């Protein structure tokens, strides 16, 4: 638990229309906190992020962001209240240029577009020379940066990142982790789903282990890393 969380999910139950996938998930994210979510494939990690972002409707439970219950809100309203989301797959418009992708992230923004672009290009210098190239022509790591940058274009207070390092080379992984630190230093809270469980625990302030749509464990990243049972079950021994 977190005192004065920016996000708090309580008793989240829901799925994709058939059987429930989430069976009562609880989690909180504090201000400027990096919170990891790990667990086996199919545990419901991506589904939790989709529920927070309004892409699936919960059958039960609440999602509080700041002082509002946002459960049931559509994504366009959620993005406007300060939550950015980077999906696990298909997260760029491939035919559009890098810069057009970034501008799409700011479609709700009436002013400050140039300044927002500038901030993103400072965080992701690799994208500057690619800005007129179709996003589909970029490497996986660079596309991940475009998706990440696009989510930053509206200055979110909370970022939902679904496996931002999946399939990336160690160099890009380290770069993405460094950018997450920079974003947090700028005041943003981060909820980070990661396949690289050990790395995620070492990196996160706090983390949740999910299994079969339920909370399995939670604690500081360091405590979970040191937990032998968790290590055996979820971290490959």
Ligand X SMILES: Nc1ncnc2c1ncn2[C@@H]1O[C@H](COP(=O)(O)OP(=O)(O)O)[C@@H](O)[C@H]1O
Q: Give contact residues for Mg ion (rule: CB under 5 A).
A: 45-46
Asked if 7 and 53 count as a contact pair (C-beta separation under 8 A), the reply is: no
Task: Kindly write out the interface string for residues 47-66 of this chain, putting x where it contacts ligand X by CB under 6 A and - elsewhere.
Answer: x-------------------
- Among the listed residues 16, 72, 118, 125, the single contact to ligand X using CB under 6 A: 16
Tell me which stretch binds ligand X (CB under 6 A): 36-44, 75-83, 141-149, 177-185.
36-44
Tell me which stretch binds ligand X (CB under 6 A): 34-42, 79-87, 104-112, 144-152.
34-42
Question: Smallest distance from the beta carbon of 12 to Mg ion, in angstroms?
Answer: 16
**What's the CA gap between 176 and 145, in Å, rounded?**
8
Q: Does residue 46 bind ligand X (CB under 6 A)?
A: yes
Cβ atoms within 10 Å of 66's Cβ, excluding its own: 13
- Among the listed residues 30, 36, 44, 105, the single contact to ligand X using CB under 6 A: 44
Would you say 44 or 164 has its CB closer to ligand X?
44
- Among the listed residues 9, 25, 45, 177, the single contact to ligand X using CB under 6 A: 45
Would you say 47 or 144 has its CB closer to ligand X?
47
How far out from the chain centre does Cα 85 lie? 6
Would you say 37 or 183 has its CB closer to Mg ion?
37
Asked if 185 and 193 count as a contact pair (C-beta separation under 8 A), the reply is: no
Question: Smallest distance from the beta carbon of 18 to ligand X, in angstroms?
Answer: 7
Would you say 46 or 91 has its CB closer to Mg ion?
46
Q: Which residues contact 63 (CB under 8 A, 6 or more apart)?
A: 7, 8, 9, 10, 12, 51, 52, 69, 70, 71
Closest by Cα among 172, 158, 163 to 39? 163
Q: Does residue 127 bind ligand X (CB under 6 A)?
A: no
Q: Give the footprint of ligand X on this chain (CB under 6 A).
A: 16, 21, 39, 41-47
């Amino acid at each position: 638990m977190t005192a004065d969380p920016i996000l708090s999910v309580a008793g989240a139950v829901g799925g994709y229309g058939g059987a429930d996938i989430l069976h009562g998930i609880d989690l909180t994210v504090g201000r400027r906190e990096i919170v990891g979510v790990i667990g086996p494939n199919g545990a419901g990690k991506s589904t939790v992020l989709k529920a927070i972002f309004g892409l699936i409707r919960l059958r039960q439970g609440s999602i509080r962001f700041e002082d509002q219950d946002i459960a049931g809100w559509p994504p366009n309203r959620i993005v406007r209240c300060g939550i950015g989301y980077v999906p696990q797959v298909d997260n760029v418009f491939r035919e559009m240029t890098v810069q057009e992708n970034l501008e799409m992230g700011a479609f709700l923004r009436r002013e400050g577009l140039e300044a927002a672009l500038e901030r993103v290009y400072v965080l992701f210098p690799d994208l500057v020379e690619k800005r007129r190239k179709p996003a589909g022509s970029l490497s996986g790591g660079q596309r991940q940066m475009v998706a990440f940058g696009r989510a930053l274009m509206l200055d979110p207070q909370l970022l939902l990142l679904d496996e931002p390092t999946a399939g990336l080379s160690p160099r890009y992984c380290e770069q993405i982790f460094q950018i997450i630190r920079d974003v947090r230093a700028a005041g943003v809270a981060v909820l980070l789903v990661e396949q690289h469980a050990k790395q995620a625990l070492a990196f996160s302030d706090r983390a949740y282990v999910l299994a079969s749509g339920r909370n399995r464990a939670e604690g500081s990243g360091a405590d979970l890393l040191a937990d032998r049972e968790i290590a055996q079950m979820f971290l490959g021994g």
